[in-house]
């Protein structure tokens, strides 16, 4: 894994526990942290909503929804890699799904995840610059000082900035300087 690379949150999904465990073990052994493990479309939707952007690795089909329907529901910043048998993959009509034919070798999975992680980094240019770093630093401070989750700290900063008509970066700078 390259230092300084934007880390995509990876959601591993399959209706079977065994597939989730195998994928999670493969990813973590290669240095890719797994954000969440899901077994249904509804769980995937909730997990993606928590982190705003993600890479969803889906092995096989889900019991509660079609992959086409799931792809429509996911935000544009979310990448979906679907691993299934060729005849199942061919039934999918959504164009925004990356596909990998199963059974697939671990090297193919890791290669696809690396490629999609790089695509994620290229699609998130705002994460490269100074304003993002300032907001991240302030968020980390709020998390420590006020014992907040990452999501709560971000929402608190967002809410304050919106209510006071200022940029979040401006408020973040005030948090860092201790003058809020």
Taking only the tens place, the pLDDT of each residue in 94-144 is: 888 999 999 999 999 999 999 998 888 777 654 444 788 888 888 998 998
Task: Note the pLDDT of residue 8.
Answer: 81
Q: Which residue has the higher pLDDT, 178 or 128?
A: 178
157: pLDDT strictly greater than 50 = yes
Radius of gyration in angstroms for the set of CA atoms belonging to the chain, rounded to a whole number: 18
Q: What is the pLDDT of residues 47-105, one digit of tens each?
A: 998 876 799 999 999 999 999 999 999 988 899 999 999 999 998 888 889 999 999 99
4: pLDDT strictly greater than 60 = no
pLDDT, mean of residues 33-45 = 95
Q: Which two tokens stand for residue 156?
A: 């608190």
Quote the CA–CA distance of 11 and 3 in Å, as a whole number: 21
Cβ neighbour number for residue 94 with a 10 Å cutoff = 15
What is the model's pTM? 0.67
pLDDT, mean of residues 18-33 = 95
Q: Which two tokens stand for residue 46?
A: 């909730």
Q: Is 146 helix (H, G, I), strand (E, B) or coil?
A: helix
Q: Is 130 helix (H, G, I), strand (E, B) or coil?
A: helix
Task: Note the pLDDT of residue 175.
Answer: 86
pLDDT, mean of residues 17-23 = 96
| Preceding omega of 137 cis (within 30 degrees of 0) | no
Q: Which residue bears the tokens 């790089």?
A: 118
Task: Note the pLDDT of residue 93.
Answer: 84
Q: Which two tokens stand for residue 62?
A: 């889900």
Nearest by Cα to 64 from 51, 55, 73:
73
């Amino acid at each position: 894994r390259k230092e300084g690379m934007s880390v995509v949150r990876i959601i591993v999904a399959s209706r079977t526990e065994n597939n989730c465990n195998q994928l999670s073990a493969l990813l973590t052994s290669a240095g890719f942290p797994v954000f969440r493990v899901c077994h249904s479309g509804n769980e995937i939707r909730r997990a993606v909503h928590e982190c705003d952007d993600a890479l969803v690795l889906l092995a096989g089909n889900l019991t509660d929804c079609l992959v086409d329907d799931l792809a429509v529901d996911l935000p544009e910043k979310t990448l979906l890699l679907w691993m299934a048998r060729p005849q199942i993959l061919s039934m999918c009509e959504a164009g925004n799904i990356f596909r990998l034919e199963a059974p697939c070798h671990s090297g193919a999975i890791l290669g696809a995840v690396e490629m999609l992680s790089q695509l994620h980094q290229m699609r998130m240019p705002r994460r490269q610059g100074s304003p993002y770093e300032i907001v991240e630093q302030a968020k980390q401070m709020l998390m420590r000082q006020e014992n907040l989750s990452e999501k709560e700290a971000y929402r608190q900063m967002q809410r304050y900035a919106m209510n006071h008509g200022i940029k979040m970066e401006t408020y973040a700078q005030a948090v860092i300087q201790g003058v809020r």
